[in-house]
Structure 1
Amino acid sequence: MTTSPKTVKAVKAPAAPAATPADSKESLLLRKAADGYAFPALEGVANQFARSLRDLVRALGAPTIQVERGGGEQMSFADWRASAVPAIFWRYHAPSFKGPILVAAPRTLLLQLVDIFYGGRGQLAAEREELTDAEDRFAARLGRDIGLQLSAAWRGKLALEPELDCVTADPAKLAAVRADDELFVQRFTLRGAPFDGRVILCAYPVAALRGIAGDELLPDTQAHGGADPAWSGALDKALRDVRMPVRSVLARPEISLVKLLSLEVGDIIPLSMPRHVPVTVAGRSFAFGSIGEANGNAAIMIDHIEKGPDND
């Protein structure tokens, strides 16, 4: 008995979806995912930003602090705002980025940092809604420092130079962001006393991330013989940990030799306290400040920073 051979039909595989121009580029900031968009390059940005935040907080007087990076998530601006308050908000404008960058930190964290900066231990008697002038100035300075850390975190990915344009405790003042705008939010949790559990949020508008074209990304410097990032990071950390002697002379009384030789225990030398006192770092003139008090500790508020020969 013979049987006829079975006919095997070739099944044509379904055509793969055509790649979008952005997906076809070798170096991408974002890629299309099943449920929306993924942002793989932001993983490296977040890792670097976490290290930079750690170094910044340590430099402000908390040398044992660690920063734990959480996963990113998408949420509306309204939800992000609700999860952050009460907070201090910083908004940044970056010319090469098609939208604002937003950072939020708990108001208590700011008050603790101010207390430590002026010699305290970061222990607050009670939370306050209104900030003093010194705390407002500190918030602005901290915001500028965070902007520099953001720029460093994006280095090698995008030529981003965030410029601080708003510091506020009122999220309603964060113009150019609507309640239903989608944000990609990264969380950075501080670990260690006295900030344990405080969370700093960094948010990017999803529309702005989607608007970045692949050719706007910078080439991978490591593949082109750039400096070893591990070595650069170790050098940067070593430089940040160098301790510099900071001094301020509050008074320089002058008395005659005759009075000096006649001084006895219990005698009083009158002092004339100037309005502004010099602050030196490693023997070099650094700034001028006003004498005052902060949280029960004697303190000097910087009023003017000296310019070097190169205006740096």
Structure 2
Amino acid sequence: MASKKLTSDEVNALMEGLQDSPQAISIDVSSSEEVRPFAFGEDDLSLMGDYYALRQVNERFARQARSVFLPMLRIQPRITSFAPEVKTFDEYCASIDAFMNLNISRIEELRGPVLLTIPPKFISTLTASFYGGTINSGGGNRSEFTSTEERVIELVSDGLNDALMTSWRDLMPITLVEQGREVNTQFASVVDGAELVIICSFVVQLPGAGSDTIDVVYPLQTLKPIASQLRSRVQTDASHDNISWREQMEKAILNIPLNISALLGEPVMSVGNMTRLKSGDVVPIRINDGVTVKIEDRPFFIGEIGEVAGKSAISLQKRM
């Protein structure tokens, strides 16, 4: 439907109304206390860019953390990392439950803290599954952990700290030193409430048990010294320095079982003699001076038949 156009009389009436209206009042806001100057690009948040490198670290941490939970849950959990989010520490504390597992560690290289938060429901699920229960047996509302859960928390926090150090290795090697654990954010002295923190959230999904969120919280001042590295989209590949991976691969290869056989002789017999063989007959075998020793049906050594400690043995003489 076409819109109705104004007539010339209606337009003139509108113009007269505008002319008769009082002049717009100019408001001077220069003296207002709520107005303050702001220089774009000079705030702490812009130093970090889009957190590209930190998102890469989070993706690696999500993969590494699966190996921490797998022995306890006996299933492979699905862990999804979300984009980093910036809040004040007070805002973050207000967004989580008052009763949480809070693991405080120190990044030695950056001389700053990092906070790992795990919900109590997930701790109960891990504890029940670790001791033979079901994965959907989460606990209800409470205000403290049992001694058994404290032991599980210790195992999980140590494993996640190792996973976090491994995840940072491509960006820069870090060392996490545990400072303590708390169950209430009021006693978690990480930073002042007004300071900004970067929250990296990871959702752990289990079949039949819903999902839980684990947070890794970095104070902005902790990551500020490596702001240029966090903005960079080019990272060095430190996989060649992964000595542990090489050692595990070498150990796995050296433990591969191989079949070893010794060829004593190859007697020749006609078809006629073969058809006349019966139980008790003796087939003569001529053993040469050297016995061929094969590994996986491939000849490797020439040996000599003998006896050691009452058992038949072959002494390897030379390699073929």
TM-score in terms of structure 1 length: 0.57
**2:129 matched residue in structure 1:** 116
| Pairing 1:92-241 to 2, within 5 Å after superposition | 92-122=105-135, 123-124=137-138, 126-212=140-226, 220-222=235-237, 226-227=239-240
Please tell me whether the aligned partners of residues 91 and 100 of structure 1 are also in contact (alpha carbons under 8 angstroms).
Answer: yes
- 1:215 to 1:188, Cα distance in 2 relative to 1, 3 A: closer
Q: For structure 2, list consecutive stretches of 5 or more residues without a partner in the other structure.
A: 1-40, 253-320
Distance 1:179 1:149, change over 3 A: same
CA RMSD of aligned residues (A): 3.4
Shift of 1:75: 0.5
Matched residue type, 2:157:
G
The percent of aligned pairs where both chains have the same amino acid is: 19
Partner SS, residue 169 of structure 1: strand
Pairing partner for 1:91 from 76, 100, 104: 104
Residue 202 of structure 1 deviates from its aligned partner by: 0.9
Q: CA deviation at 1:194?
A: 4.6
- 2:93 counterpart residue number: 81
1:179-235: per-residue Cα shift (whole Å, max 9, x none)? 111011111101222542200111111111112375899x9543x8x5499xx69x8
Equivalent residue of 1:96, what SS?
coil
Q: Distance in 1 between matches of 2:226 and 2:65?
A: 25
Residue 282 of structure 1 is matched in structure 2 by none
Aligned pairs for 1:20-59 within 5 A? 32=46, 37-59=49-71
Looking at structure 1, the residues matched to 89 and 217 of structure 2 have their Cα atoms a distance apart, in angstroms, of 9
Q: Aligned residue pairs: how many?
A: 203
Q: Find the structure with the greater CA-based Rg.
A: 2
Deviations 1:46-91 (A, max 9, x none): 0001111222112222413100111111011111122222321111
Hey, which of these two has a bigger chunk of helix by percent? 2
Q: Is the 8 A contact 1:98 1:211 kept in 2?
A: no
Q: Alpha carbons of 1:228 and 1:66: their partners in 2 closer, same or farther (altered >3 Å)?
A: farther
> How much has 1:31 moved relative to structure 2?
9.0
Partners of 1:115 and 1:165 in 2: CA distance: 27
Alignment check: 8 A CA contact 2:203 2:211 kept: yes
Within a 5 Å distance, the mapping from 1:250-289 to structure 2 comes to none
TM (norm. structure 2) is 0.56
| Alignment partners' CA distance in 2, 1:129 and 1:52 | 30
What amino acid is the match of 1:94?
A: I
Residue among 66, 70, 75 paired with 2:82: 70
Structure 2 contact 109–174 (Cα < 8 Å) conserved = yes
Deviations 1:6-34 (A, max 9, x none): xxxxxxxxxxxxx99xxxxxxxxx9946x
- Cα deviations by residue, 1:108-167 (Å, 9 ceiling, x for unpaired): 110111111111113146343221112122212211111111101101211211112111
